[in-house]
Amino acid sequence: MTPDTQILPGGTWKLGGQTVTRFGYGSMQLTGPWVMGPPVDYDGAIAVLREAANLGITHIDTSGAYGPHVTNDLIRAALHPYPGTLRIATKVGAERDADGGWPTARRRDQLRQQIDENLTHLGLDVLDLVYLRVGNAEGPVPERIGDAFRVLVDLQQEGLIRHLGVSNATPDQVAEAQAIAPIVSVQNMYNLAYRQDDSLIDRLAAEGIAYVPFFPLGGFSPLQSETLSAVAARLSSRPMSVALAWLLQRSPNILLIAGTSSAAHLRKMSPAPASTSQNRISASSTASREKNSGTEIPHRGTPQTAHPRAAARGGRASGSNAVGELPHRRRAHVGTPC
């Protein structure tokens, strides 16, 4: 597979010393309903992964809990042997139950098994990046994570993991992990309307650590969606494009993991011609100016705000990854569909 020569939005970032495109791909939507079982369209799932590679995307996000094991098997079937520039990030710390729930699984034996399963299903000898997924399906939980994180450090020292990160974590938990071993990335919920990690993002940027937002289009209120749609209309763009462009301009350490089960949709989210790329750069700049012009999109920025994953249950996901692990069997609706 030879990647297109187009330039993906946002440029690149050094993820643990490895260069990746800031516009990445999140694989969760490739599974069956409720992130369980095989895809409805197997050939279509293979096609979207190959399209990601053809577009030049070099950062793919997955988890053994997706399916379970379905996205890892699809990634291997579509892309193995992997291009030398491709970096695959996975997550451990949760399992799936018969009802589609996401029970925690952070004992030493459970974490080792999850690492072994990721290696097997992805067809790898070493995992590029492993996140310890903490908290629960409702969001971060203030609890100690040191014991579980040390297990991953031990597995890293065994040569099974190159780089470590944490996901669904509070700032204190990020600091706790950093006190034990270096991390290269944090993956948390964050978007234009839900900005509780603003200070954390700025701190991580100063330290050269990536921040990967999941649920980037979710939890929007009607007022927020209306404002976003108005900005997009003025730009002759789509609300999804403006929201993703805003994330890219928010901080250089933000890496997107756009998710879709459609190759055509993936092409829409990434700029095909140069003019489209310039339009999205313009969109990001204009969205930034909106913040200072009195028409800023209202956002949730206080810890007392209910976690949007708990409030936005019901429809099937559209738009971008990763909608997060929901306590019920349906995925969350992520706002304006594209």
Mean pLDDT within 20-48: 97
Q: Rounded CA gap, 326 and 215, in Å?
A: 11
Place of tokens 């991953």: 152
pLDDT tens for residues 40-76? 999 999 999 999 999 999 999 999 999 999 999 999 9
> Is 321 part of any domain?
no
Predicted local distance difference test score (pLDDT) of residue 276: 42
CA pseudo-torsion sign 189, 327, 27, 155:
positive
> Is 121 part of any domain?
yes
Task: State which residues form the domain around 70.
Answer: 18-311
> Is 3 part of any domain?
no
> Is 338 part of any domain?
no
Instruction: At 113, list the tokens.
Output: 């098994």
Residue 68: asked if its preceding bond is cis (omega within 30°), the reply is yes
Per-position b or e across 139-175, b if 16+ CB within 10 A of its CB: bbeeeebeebbebbbebbeeebbbbbbbbbbbbebbe
- Strand, coil or helix: what is 89? strand
> Is 68 part of any domain?
yes
> Is 317 part of any domain?
no
Mean pLDDT within 281-295: 43
**Predicted confidence (pLDDT) at residue 115 exceeds the cutoff of 80:** yes
**Predicted confidence (pLDDT) at residue 88 exceeds the cutoff of 90:** yes
Place of tokens 């939890």: 219
pLDDT tens for residues 127-186? 999 999 999 988 999 999 999 999 999 999 999 999 999 999 999 999 999 999 999 999
> Is 11 part of any domain?
no
More confident residue, 302 or 128: 128
pLDDT, averaged across the chain: 83
Predicted local distance difference test score (pLDDT) of residue 284: 43
pLDDT tens for residues 252-280? 999 999 899 999 999 888 754 333 433 44
The set of catalytic residues is 66
State residue 88 phi and psi, 5-degree precision: -110, 125
Strand partners of residue 18: 15
For residue 5, name the pLDDT band (cuts at 50, 70, 90).
very low
Q: Rounded CA gap, 118 and 92, in Å?
A: 9
Place of tokens 């034996």: 109
Predicted local distance difference test score (pLDDT) of residue 285: 44
Total number of domains constituting the chain: 1
Helix, strand, coil percentages, rounded to 5, for the chain? 40, 20, 45
Q: Rounded CA gap, 133 and 169, in Å?
A: 8
Taking alpha carbons only, the member of 151, 132, 168 closest to residue 327 is: 168
> Is 238 part of any domain?
yes
- Could you tell me if residue 314 is left (phi over 0), alpha (psi between -120 and 50 degrees) or otherwise beta? left
Going through 73-220 in order, the beta strands assigned E by DSSP cover 87-92, 127-133, 161-167, 185-189, 210-214
Predicted local distance difference test score (pLDDT) of residue 190: 96
CATH value at residue 167: 3.20.20.100
